[in-house]
Chain A
Amino acid sequence: MNSVIAALSHTSLKEVLQRMFPKVWPPAEISDKWWFVLAAIGTVAIVSYIYRENMLFRIAEHVLIGVAFGYSFTVEYFNVGQNNFVNPVFKEGNLWPIIPAILGLMVVLRIVPKLSWVSRYPMAMFVGLGMGMMLPRYLQSTVFAQVYGTTRVDFVGSISQGWPWGILATVGGVVLIAGTLCALTYFYFSMEHRGFVGGTAKVGIIFLMIGFGASFGYTVQARISLFAARVLFILRDWLGIIT
């Protein structure tokens, strides 16, 4: 909801129109204040959904989708299509870009039922390439580096710093390692969660709940921030009530 509200900012719509119609847009008589009015109407229209679904919300929603598609298509064409294919092939006589263009067209053939099998070849290439690039790097950054980060707590160094920060850092290190092990035990399903394993898993649940609580708190903060930014726009930029 909030993302839709924010996306209707005057900046994006104005720039989309400028990009799509650079020679005729914006008409001279449209001053900046009308962009603020348009953005404010869009914001109010989207927020009106809170009360109930209505025609104004529907119109704003469709405008947003249309604008986003138009903007993306325009930027894609000028940045990718023109720079990487049209200009090299037709202006510079470089024929190499025809190969990736053919692969791209093969992907599009997916929409033709009789020729949809053709799309499997470029897709196989993309998947293979993606996996090859991703697997080793993600293993390194999300598994090995994280395990290293969890286990390299400098207990001796922390304790030597004394009370309070040194001791607190040591306790923090113990909690980090214990929390990680307990949470991992909760997701270990090859043993019945009874006795020691069951107790450890229960402690793991507490750590997981604390983690979820922190995430929830941040989520609330995020949603409030996005909405507050739109309220700030209406009060300051549009109505001029606050400075």
Chain B
Amino acid sequence: MWLKLLQDSRTIYTVILAVIIAPFMVTLKLPIPIPPPVRKVYDAVELARQKKQPIIISFDFDPSVAGECKPMAVAMVRHAFATKTPVIGLTFLITGANLAQSILDQAAKEFNERPGGKDSIVYGRDYVWLGWKPQYVQIIIAMGHDIKGIFKTDAEGKSLDEMPIFKGVKNFDDIGLTTTIAGSAIPEDWIAYTMQYKARLAVGTTAVSATQYFPYMQADQIKGVIPGATGAAAYERLLVDNEYWPTFGDAGAMANTQSASHIVIILFIITGNIIYFIRKSQKQ
């Protein structure tokens, strides 16, 4: 009977659900390590700050992968705002446009509502939202020549020429770091089409796609990778450790859940293999 119960997928789902919920209820402080690829993205933003150059964040994800990509996007925007590094936001995914804009606006609101932080983050000076544009390959190539030439206005139709954030910005040469946060293959196109411009590129991606981008980092084609929610949690830890932001975000809240559920899945795999060998020996 136990064997039959273990083989029912609903048993597995129930256990996983319990293991995901339980860590949210108890105060556990499991360590959050900082992988070198995440540290490199963080350092690249710091370098942009030192050079006083804006960063581009391409929010190339939609609600379907927001659970993984949104925490890293929020962490990066907070890092940039805390260090007064201007952020140029855009997206190449139509269903992600409003989500991305809300991340920028929400982060700006948080900073402006902090004690003594009124008007610390100003639209047009500290960040801009360029919105969504179709046919992103052509857009990336055109950005390599002239960013204002291809976008001309922000998402609301305001001229980019009038915005302080674009003062002295022509193309990727004037951008401290370009980050694409995506749950699809869009970063591959960013890498391929910005190579000729020698753009400083970083990738934030879902964990499923993470292994795909490590070779690009090895070959120095990208500066770093934020892999999934654990990567986002590591980035949040860097912000907390360096006192840029007081608390962990959603990824930090999910870190314990991740660890607990991974242990259970490892146990499932071991149990599954034991059952397999028991059955095999019984047949023989």
Contact = CB atoms under 8 A, between A and B. Distances in A.
A6 B254 contact: no
Nearest to B212: A215
A242 B219 contact: no
Interface in A60-97: 68, 71-72, 75-76, 79-80
B218 A242 contact: no
Interface string A212-235: 001100111110111111111001
Interface in B234-283: 250, 253-254, 257-258, 261-262, 265
- In which size bucket is the chain A interface? 35 or more
A133 B134 CA distance: 16
A221 B228 contact: yes
5 contacts: A2-B64, A4-B64, A211-B211, A225-B254, A232-B254
A197 interface: no
Interface in B128-147: 131-134, 137, 141
B137 A133 contact: yes
B193 A137 contact: yes
A6 B211 contact: no
Contacts of A232: 24, 250, 253-254
A175 to B, nearest CB: 12
Contacts of B95: 7, 12, 68, 71-72
Contacts of A228: 20, 67, 229, 254, 257-258, 261
A31 B41 CA distance: 39
DSSP class of B's interface residues: helix, strand, loop or mixed?
helix
A12 B97 CA distance: 10
Interface in A1-38: 2-4, 6-9, 11-12, 15, 19
Given A146-B219, A221-B207, A12 B63 contact: yes
Nearest to A3: B64
A141 B201 CA distance: 13
B25 interface: yes
Contact of A218 (B193, B195, B210): B210
A148 interface: yes
Nearest to A50: B13
Contacts of B210: 218
A142 interface: yes
B67 A140 contact: no
A142 B208 contact: no
A153 B31 CA distance: 32
Contacts of A4: 64
B262 A229 contact: no
B284 interface: no
